[in-house]
């Protein structure tokens, strides 16, 4: 897959969520913070996937490693962070938190069927939301996990051999 600058992208960090539904926007806020505070190699793309769902399928073409950051209903205490990989991810999306999660679940299902759209490695870094009602600010409980979630993304990238440099 080629980005706008004709760079080959093989690692995608995808923040998912609705930023006007309080804690549901946490994934987007994490990737925004990642893009603001870190420099990454040209082959890594950081993307605000919002609530696009299946519209993201073309963005997965050629991606070898995918990190998804999102609010996830786990039944745990609000603010609890999780890391899931591979086949664990669709199972975690069985409990519908918001409409975009059905889109994400569908996206992952269809990516299995379309040649070249299923990343070899997938990781979901998520947090149990406290509130998903109308509002543009995260709850204090989930906001307190922003740096933790960001650190998890950075550690995942570094584990894949990506050079992550702080400061833009």
Check pLDDT > 70 for residue 10: yes
pLDDT of residue 4: 46
Count of C-beta atoms within a 10 Å radius of residue 61: 15
Distance between CA atoms of residues 109 and 94, nearest Å: 12
85-143 pLDDT tens trace: 987 876 556 555 555 444 566 666 666 656 656 788 999 999 999 999 999 999 999 99
pLDDT of residue 2: 43
Distance between CA atoms of residues 54 and 104, nearest Å: 7
CA proximity to 57, closest of 114, 133, 18: 114
**Which position has the higher pLDDT, 93 or 55?**
55
Domains and CATH numbers, the chain: 11-156 (3.40.50.1450)
């Amino acid at each position: 897959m080629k980005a706008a600058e004709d760079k080959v992208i093989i690692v995608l960090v995808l923040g998912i969520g609705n930023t006007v539904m309080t804690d549901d926007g946490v994934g987007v806020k994490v990737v925004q913070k990642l893009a603001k505070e870190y420099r990454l190699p040209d082959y890594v793309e950081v993307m605000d996937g919002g609530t696009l769902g299946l519209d993201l399928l073309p963005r997965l073409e050629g991606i070898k490693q995918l990190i998804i950051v999102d609010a996830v209903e786990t039944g745990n205490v609000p603010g609890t962070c999780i890391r899931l990989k591979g086949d664990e991810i669709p199972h975690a999306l069985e409990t519908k938190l918001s409409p975009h999660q059905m889109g994400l679940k569908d996206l992952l299902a269809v990516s299995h069927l379309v040649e070249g759209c299923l990343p070899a490695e997938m990781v979901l870094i998520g947090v149990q939301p406290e509130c998903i009602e109308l509002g543009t600010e995260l709850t204090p409980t989930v906001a307190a996990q922003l740096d933790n979630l960001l650190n998890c993304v950075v550690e995942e990238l570094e584990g894949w051999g990506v050079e992550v440099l702080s400061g833009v």
